[in-house]
Amino acid sequence: MALAFTDNYGSLYRQKLVTADEAVKVVKSGDWVQYGEFVMQPKELDAALAKRVNELHDVKVRAVCTTMIPEIVKADPQREHFCFNDWHFSGFSRAMHKQNLCNYIPITYHEARKLIGEFLTIDVAFVLVAPMDRNGYFNLGTSNSITSYVLERAKTVVVEVNKSVPVCLGGNSESVHISQVDYIVESQENPKLLNLPQPTITAEDRQIAFHVMEQLEDGACLQLGIGAMPNAIGTMIAESGLKDLGVHTEMLVDSFVDMYNSGVVTGKRKQIDKGKMVYTFAMGTDKLYDFLDLNPVCASYPVHYTNDPFIIAQNDKVFAINNAIEVDLYSQVASESTGTRHISGTGGQLDFIFASFRSKGGKGFICLTSTKKLADGTVVSRIRPTLSPGTIVTIPRSLNYYVVTEYGIATMKGRTTWERAEELINIAHPDFQDELVKEAEKMKIWVRTNKQDI
């Protein structure tokens, strides 16, 4: 049943209202189709497009960190009709990638506006939105990110209206007007947004969080990545008694709600967007989505604003806290793959590490446990002589700032190659330190430290 409107936009809404099956008829063979981002995936349009699998060929679909296995992929397991691509890998993307059903699109996140505006073709955009307001606007919900650029670039725009989507205030570019929309599809089920499972926080995560907490100061402006360790830090911050922290982050997660409710986050000392929790997308649980709904303390911005290092760095004391998979003795950071096994994407890690150094009093932390256990039970060091063959470098050694494991913090800025290797070996697991010293010597990285000095 169509939503009712008493304003001037009701008639236009009804003119553009179609079923999902009708809307997907705009897709032609050879088209590029853009889906929504993160938890804002257009489920009913995806299911309707999948029904057309045998009518279409060479349809390329892009998404950002998909939070589902798309129906188009399930309908075409041989990839003969649809080609699915992701700007930032999720667990679902990884599972598809293993079966050669998904490809990654490399991106430096803050460059997305120019990249999309000047380099991409988007024939059709399928975007999940909140119900239209009385002024004719559909809110983009939890994912501002690249969506406004997609809407500007797309030849045809189809919105899927879901009553469960929170209205996330801006900022800017957080909504699309009905005049920019070609077709409207109303969700029949209005499914709730995906709730991420709470990550398991290990003793090592807590120790890493403790080291980072020792660096934090009143008035710091926070960026947290996804995962157990950033959540552990968020929990500690909420209970810390720190004062007047600010938020300028790529991703808003549940722990920011705890920090705000505890009074730790006020944003009073920010230099820009004072008092606002700035973000470009949000993923978490209903606690986060309920907090965001019509909350003026939260400001949703497109990613060219939130992730521009020169904008981020206008705030003092930017503390960027992110995860990694491996770091080598040259201090190169790998956060996207281990060997050729694709795990994630560049995301905003590069943007925020760069910005934290430019920020007055800022610090950028790359955090990882010192070891990991392989599928066969073997324990290996995450600090390696060189990155595993085929591994993608996310942060070049010249931009790396601090590296943190459960054994401490290593400073990279201004250090020689041998000093970097020495500092990294000092925070590696003791069981691997001797071997790392030997490998550093083989690679002609002179390491003064020996086992007795560590």
**Which one from 250, 336, 406, 439 is the annotated catalytic residue?**
250
Say which amino acid occupies 215: Q
Q: Which CATH superfamily is domain 10-186 in?
A: Glutaconate Coenzyme A-transferase (3.40.1080.10)
Q: Give per-residue pLDDT as tens, 117-127.
A: 999 999 999 99
Q: What's residue 448's pLDDT?
A: 65
Would you kindly state where each structural domain of the chain is located, as residue ranges? Answer: 10-186, 203-442
Query: What is the reported pLDDT for 449?
Result: 55
Same fold, 10-186 and 203-442: yes
In whole angstroms, what is the distance from residue 446 CA to residue 454 CA?
15
The superfamily in CATH containing domain 203-442 is Acetyl-CoA hydrolase/transferase C-terminal domain (3.40.1080.20)
Q: Which are the contacts of 154, defined by CB distance < 8 A and separation ≥ 6?
A: 34, 122, 123, 124, 125
Q: What is the pLDDT of residue 446?
A: 74
Cα distance between residue 218 and residue 402, in whole Å: 20
pLDDT in tens, 196-249: 998 888 999 999 999 999 999 999 999 998 777 887 898 899 999 999 999 999
- pLDDT, residue 453, reads 46
Q: How far apart are CA 398 and CA 427, in angstroms?
A: 20
- Cis peptide upstream of residue 91 (ω within 30 degrees of 0): no
| Alpha-carbon distances of 171 from 145, 370, 453, rounded to whole Å | 12, 39, 52
Does the annotation mark 160 as catalytic?
no
Lowest mean pLDDT among 51-65, 143-157, 317-331, 437-451: 437-451
